[in-house]
Chain A
Amino acid sequence: MSKQTVSKEKEQERYSTFQVLSRLAKYTFRPSLFVPLITAVIISGAVDITMPTLMGKAIDAIVGPGNVNFAYVLKAATTMLIFYIVGAGMNYVFNMLSNKSANRAVRDIRRDAYDKLSILPLKYYDTKAHGDIQSRFINDADMVGDGLVQGVAQLLSGIINIVGSLIFMLILSPVVTLAVLVVTSITFLTASAITKMSNKYFRAQQALVGRLNGLSEELIQGAKTVKLFNYEKRSQQRFDEINGELNITGRRAQFAGALTNPTTRFVNHLAYISVGVVGGAIAGISAGGISSFIVYSNLFAKPFNDLTSIATQIMTAIASARRIFEVMDETGTEEDANDSVEIENSEGRVDFEAVNFSYEPSHPLIRDFSLSVEPGSTVAIVGPTGAGKTTIVNLLMRFYEIDSGAIKLDNIDIRNIKRESLRRSFGMVLQDSWLFEGTVRENIAYGKEDASDEEIEAASKFAHAHSFISKLEKGYDTYIGEGTTLSHGQMQLITIARTVLANPPVIILDEATSAIDTVTERRIQRAFEKMMQNRTSFVIAHRLSTIQRADIILVMDAGRVVEQGKHEELLEKKGLYYKLYNSQYASEDEQE
């Protein structure tokens, strides 16, 4: 919690409100839309402001029985008819254009944030909560849109109404105008005081709603575990605790929020009354004059009444914009240097030369690591859970940059190779299989989009995925997404087929078979062995049987390479490898 407040404060320091606004303005105000928009709002505002005077004059022309100037009333009514139609048309143009420019702004903000996201280094993805990033793209961008449409549009027409009606009121009667000004400023002060108070309660309420939603989601997702451990009662207690708090806070927030309307209505009534009283008793204006004054005072007061809600909306939009701009301004990019080279059909020679690396400077992980991998050889990386075996993969693929030393592919420093071409040289099968929403076929052809059906089938057969895929209802056209229930093992087989089809010069298997049963694994193992022939390969596994034939075995512990050598050599050493190797076959009866 405290951590969050600290980072929030930092955020505040990072961009001032003005900076955020001017940056938003760049997205919002494009001349092609903005010139017609301003023209439309001025015309529709002018209609709103001039018509009440005309109406007042028309009413004054209707004095009493037998005393009605019909010629004037007709002229006034016709003018009003024409102007109101034009005004409404302009009002529509204005609303539509502001909606359009807001939507475009949201689109462009999302696009720019996405462009940034797609070049951010992996560190960003690994350290930031994904739900939070997603919510910045979706919810925050929406908030910016709403704030812009409603906030800015209302602000513009509000300013025009205030200025225009003030001028006309002054022309009609300065004294009554003064009365309106006094009353309006009271409205404004009360409304902003109420909003300030209700915002405080509202924020507290939102925090509780967030907590309650989070807890419900967690408890319902884990409902079976809740049942298995008889946790129902306690879970109900936890739920009711927050729910009860929400009741009290929600009541306060709702009441405080509901104060604004009746209170402003009350002050508006006062304005209405004071127009009648001051206008009639002191200024002595006509009945028609009072009637137009009532309209003006409403026009004048309305933006003030709404000001607090507009302000809240714009402030929310600014806060949301800040969160998106934060993504855009993340440091570190994955852009290739201009002089970096493309490599194709790599030979598969990999060299680590005195590599140093750490995720955090205070915890050095890989120190002075050197290794030469001949083309076509197999490197196995083993070690206990959490030993940092995946770090080597992160460095090879340049997901993370080494601190010093060099990693070379075909004797070229990988920092001088274009990332895309470097990564295309490696085929990777990870422990967590990742498929995107789309058909099985699309997923397999991910690395080779122009692959023919025969090629796709051949790759699937190679990966032992063909038989289960053909049993699916729609075969290769089965849609993978919500509702499809492929087992973890089946998904893994598809990812293997995907790598097979891409046919990369170097392959990396990171616990690729841990989700697959051993009988199937043994079959895939053969497929892997076929793949590994004549290819440089890196294999990470905790099932040691799969890696005994490797040319080099790296044994890692606590992030460091502690032993390296061939299977027999390592067994003779009687070190960590020996221990790991023996424990996998021991049953609990044997003594350690």
Chain B
Amino acid sequence: MFRYVKGHLRPYIKQCVLGPIFKLLEAVLELMMPILMAMLIDNGVDTGDTSYILKIGGLMALTALIGLLSALVCQYYASVASQGFGTSLRSSMYKKINSLSARTLDKFGAATLTNRLTNDINQLQQAVAMLIRLVIRAPFICIGSIVAAMIIDIKLSAITLIAVALFAVVLTVIIKLLGPLYIRIQKRLDNLSRVINENLSGVRVIRAFAKTGREKDKFKNANESWTSDAERAGRIAMLVNPATMLIINLSVTAIIWFGGIRVNVAGVTQGELIAFINYMTQVLNVLIVISNLVQLYTKAYASLNRVNEIMALPDSDKGTADAAPDFTAPAVEFEHVTFRYGDEENPELYDVSFKLNAGETLGIIGGTGAGKSTLINLIPALYTSYTGAVKVFGADAKEYDRTKLRDMIGIVPQQPQLFSGSVSENIAFGKEDIKSENITEAIACSSADFVYSKDGGLDSHVERGGRNYSGGQKQRLTIARAIVRRPRILILDDSMSALDYATELRIRRAIRKITKENNMSVIMVTQRISTVTHADKILVLDDGRVVGIGRHEELMENCEAYRDIATSQLSQQKGGEAV
């Protein structure tokens, strides 16, 4: 259970051992305080011996000072160890996430992974800090105080034990009751959050349908149900304080009554009675700390499980061998490929076979959901759980070192995703050695010259996910990002949908020029016939199956699905000459 985390704590063994020892020292010193006070009262106050009072008083001050210093040493060790542990664990978990296969990433989802990387690790980090600071100290003070109380008077200490037991029962009941309530409150809050989010993202539709009133009701319901659950939880949670106080105070009352009896028969002295009351209070104070610790460690335990689950995953995004490309072989070749993302019955791709020769252009066309994007995701081995074979330059895609394979491929994904940083960092993404003239050329090629009109030019800031750029701008920058790498295979996945025809045409011409000059192979995924009419080969996909393959003229002749798409787009132009 600690398999994946203990390594990160190992460098801090010294802190983990010495920290609690210092804390223990403080605890021991703290336990001495009531005893010293009892001596001060019994031997000093009751006899009026001023010098004795001062002597004991000085000793107590010294004890307190040493206690303070040891506590500080412990806190220092705790912060070094816990922060260092958290940092190291976070770094290695991020590394693990990077090595997961796309399939695993899909399965978990970005939100969960981010949450585990941040919140769960923070929880563990806090648990380590508390381990050093309190886990040793709290039980020690608790047991120590009980033992001290027993030494003073074994009979009176029965009251202490009863109080502790009572407290434990009350606390367990309250925590048990609260657990499910808190989960519900969190759900209510998530719901509230969702309603707000819908209102923000859907404001145009809401206003257009004049639905402000209905949304208001929805919000009101969400708000009310949160309030009523929060109040219900409050009614229980607020019991903790008065209940604890009541237990402490009633035991003190009991100690005074039974203590009176014990003093009367010379079982204890008056000073010892006061010390006893002090120990009693200390025990219960510590119990409150322990109850917080129990809650903290319940949470930390859940976090640990979530972290372990990720850390235990295999580094699946790794090639099975280190194949070498043969650049005279076909750039991409599919042999009877059938693929499913998960366990669903209908495959995303079914028995797909085709060949793209080096230096040629392949068009892939089909309706939404035909499997076009899925198909190209198999080329850089993002997904590998298919049957059949995908070959890149003569070798099985799975057998390449992944870095080497992906270095040969430049993809422009359908969803244009940029990352925070500068424009030039985004274009040179993942390649450190790119010259600035190459970036300039890539920008020209992708018609992304709008970057020059920005204040910072190439150094302009890109916000998280590229949200300060429009869809069309993002598409052009992602095209530049693929071109600048001069890949052997350039893949464009319907990546000009947000661009007008004039801009698209300009970019297509530039791409054609640069790919011819550099002997690149190109795959163009699209829904627009005009994009693929001049491809060397066109693959027509329908519902995951290849329903046609050939040149534009051949397909117009003998592929019904292709003709269908073509007529839908070309029928209205130029008297239908293409038909």
Contact = CB atoms under 8 A, between A and B. Distances in A.
B202 A436 contact: yes
Contacts of B485: 229
Contact of B227 (A103, A224, A385, A522): A103
B110 interface: yes
Nearest to B230: A103
Contacts of B86: 247, 250
Contacts of A239: 90-91, 94
B207 interface: yes
Contact of B68 (A73, A263, A420, A586): A263
Interface stretch (B159-167, B238-246, B321-329): B238-246
A485 B278 CA distance: 63
A258 B79 CA distance: 9
A548 B465 CA distance: 37
A198 B232 CA distance: 35
B72 interface: yes
Nearest to B233: A99
Interface string A272-306: 11101101110010110011001000000000000
Interface in A408-428: 419-421, 423-424, 426-428
Contact of B98 (A125, A209, A223, A261): A223
B174 interface: no
Interface string A215-257: 1111111111111111110111001100110110011101100
- Scoring B250, B256, B417, B498 by chain A CB atoms within 10 A of each residue's CB, the highest score goes to B256
B569 A68 contact: no
Contacts of A236: 91, 94-95, 98
Interface in B210-226: 210-212, 214-216, 219-220, 223-224, 226
B118 interface: yes
A15 interface: no
B171 interface: no
- Size bracket, chain A contacts: 35 or more
B572 A125 contact: no
A58 B256 contact: yes
A520 B403 contact: no
A138 interface: yes
A255 B76 contact: yes
B16 to A, nearest CB: 15
Contacts of A277: 40, 53-54, 57
A280 B41 CA distance: 8
Nearest to A119: B212
B contact face: mostly helix, strand, loop, or mixed: helix
A229 B202 contact: no
Contact of B231 (A73, A99, A215): A99
A269 interface: yes
B270 A280 contact: no
B368 to A, nearest CB: 4
Interface in A57-102: 58-59, 61-68, 70, 73-74, 76-77, 80-81, 84-85, 87-89, 91-92, 95-96, 99-100
Nearest to A44: B242
A258 B253 contact: no
A13 interface: no
B497 interface: yes
Contact of B41 (A218, A262, A287, A548): A287
A95 B238 contact: yes
A77 B64 contact: no
Contacts of B114: 213, 216-217, 220-221
Interface string B111-125: 001100110001000
B311 to A, nearest CB: 15
Nearest to A420: B210
A580 B503 CA distance: 9
- Scoring B44, B264, B317, B403 by chain A CB atoms within 10 A of each residue's CB, the highest score goes to B264
Contacts of B56: 276
Interface string A127-140: 00010011001100
B79 A84 contact: no
B154 interface: no
B442 interface: no
A589 B535 CA distance: 11
Nearest to B573: A585
Given A59-B270, A65-B264, A110 B94 contact: no
B9 interface: no
B278 to A, nearest CB: 8
Nearest to B87: A247
A232 B530 CA distance: 37
A277 B540 CA distance: 95
A68 B37 contact: no
Contact of A259 (B65, B75, B90, B239): B75
Contacts of B226: 107
A488 B83 CA distance: 44
Contacts of A130: 197, 200-201
A385 B253 contact: no
A211 B561 CA distance: 50
B123 to A, nearest CB: 13
A91 B249 CA distance: 13
Interface in A382-433: 383-386, 397, 399, 419-421, 423-424, 426-428, 430
Given A88-B246, A229-B429, A399-B207, A247 B84 contact: yes
A224 to B, nearest CB: 6
Given A62-B260, A81-B253, A272 B33 contact: yes
Given A80-B256, A247-B87, A585-B574, A229 B430 contact: yes
B44 A280 contact: yes
B530 A587 contact: yes
B256 A55 contact: yes
Contacts of B430: 226, 229-231, 234
A74 B259 CA distance: 12
A287 B129 contact: no
Contacts of B239: 92
A51 interface: yes
Interface string B333-352: 00000000000000000000
B204 A399 contact: yes
B53 A281 contact: yes
Given A222-B419, A291-B277, 17 more contacts: A64-B266, A107-B227, A118-B212, A149-B234, A224-B102, A227-B380, A229-B406, A236-B91, A251-B80, A254-B82, A280-B44, A286-B45, A290-B274, A386-B470, A426-B208, A447-B211, A519-B367
13 contacts: A99-B238, A130-B201, A213-B114, A229-B431, A247-B84, A290-B41, A385-B472, A385-B500, A385-B503, A419-B207, A423-B209, A585-B530, A592-B505
